[in-house]
Structure 1
Amino acid sequence: MSQAPANARLDAAQFVKDQIRTVPDWPQPGVQFRDITPLLQSAKALRVLIDLFVQRYIDARLDYVAGLDARGFIIGPILAYELNLGFIPIRKVGKLPYRTVSESYQLEYGAATVEIHEDACGAGDRIVIVDDLIATGGTMMAGKKLLERLGAVVVEGAAIIDLPDLGGSQLLRAAGLPLYTVTEFGGH
């Protein structure tokens, strides 16, 4: 994968991080919610973010970008467009109209399920999975399993934010998924 000079990446990553708003005690007390909406509202910040991803994947010989419901649907199609690739939505259960393959995973309090169309990709297709952040890693792991069940090669998982204290990035790497994140925030 292509890489910009290290100092340019650091400056761009810091600029992106500076655009992310922290909302304390939302959606529940004790949670520090990392809000990407200011990042998305700024034309310059959005361009810098997408350019970081494009520089990362321009030479990766990808076939698709897959995006996780819901905020992966914001970045994923833009990245796919910029790389001249197709986009695969990985949706919450019950949202896709055609025959699907599903994968359930555990949340901190309960379980969730995501799905893709059974013909979303083929054997050997090279795919990067995109989401806004990695917390516990469950959604991205489920997306990885779905794509691999269809025969795809998941080249990397990509996110704007890593929340390493929640263990998701460690879990994903231990499962063999390389990760690229633009920035990280400690704590919960």
Structure 2
Amino acid sequence: MSETENEVKDPRIQGIKTKIRVVPDFPKKGIMFQDITTLLLDPKAFKDTIDLFVERYRDMNISVVAGIEARGFMFGPPIALAIGAKFVPLRKPKKLPGEIIFEEYELEYGSDRLEMQVGAVDSGDRALVVDDLIATGGTLCAAMNLLERAGAKVVECACVIELPELKGRERLEGKSLCVLVEYR
């Protein structure tokens, strides 16, 4: 669904969009960083963001909400609680105790790795992957691969923001993606 269709469909989208700050040249020159901390500072816009996702996923039998470190941790837990799913953190290296599985990936300004505790996801779990933004799609692909290797079925990915010019959606290999706002 495009941003314009979303805005026509639900007026909360425009309010959310106005609360996202763009920071040029962060974390490195040439990156136009989409800062959601300004969204989090506005209780109405933050609640509207969560509510829109909850309304979408309430009846989809999601059993796992997997949030990608770090900003996926801000949106994932309230969505999981509201829809009655468990929250599984997908962390950066060496942040989880116990046995882990991991997936390495490339992103628009380097490479990284996501880790998940063994046993956090059960075979047959229906998973939603949550992050603040999709750019090149590398992080979401790594998250989906990690969950699917553990036996979950990824139902959809949910991001507040999409940067469509970076073509991340194309890397998702047909997986459904729900985005609230696009920045061109």
Bin of the TM-score, shorter chain as denominator length? over 0.9
Distance 1:111 1:38 in 2: 27
C-alpha displacement of 1:75? 0.5
Alignment CA distance shift 1:108-1:54 (3 Å) = closer
What is the TM-score of this pair, normalised by structure 1? Answer: 0.90
Give the secondary-structure state (helix, strand or coil) at the position aligned to 2:46: helix
Matches within 5 A, 1:1-188: 9-172=9-172, 175-186=173-184
1:107-151 Cα offsets, whole Å, 9 max, x none, are 345421111011011111101000000011111100100100011
Please, which moves more after superposition, 24-33 or 94-103?
A: 24-33
Letter in 2 for 1:45: A
Distance 1:109 1:130 in 2: 20
Distance 2:136 2:7 in 1: 30
2:3 corresponding residue in structure 1 = none
Contact 2:89 2:116 in 1 (8 A): yes
Question: Tell me, which stretches of 5 or more residues in structure 1 are unaligned?
Answer: 1-5
Q: May I ask how many residue pairs the two structures share in their alignment?
A: 180
C-alpha displacement of 1:9? 4.0
What is the TM-score of this pair, normalised by structure 2? Answer: 0.92
Distance 2:110 2:24 in 1: 23
1:3 corresponding residue in structure 2 = none
1:23-59 Cα offsets, whole Å, 9 max, x none, are 1222233322111111101111111111100111011
Letter in 1 for 2:51: D
Distance 1:7 1:25 in 2: 28
Contact 2:17 2:181 in 1 (8 A): yes
Distance 2:9 2:78 in 1: 20
Contact 2:7 2:13 in 1 (8 A): no
Contact 1:164 1:170 in 2 (8 A): no
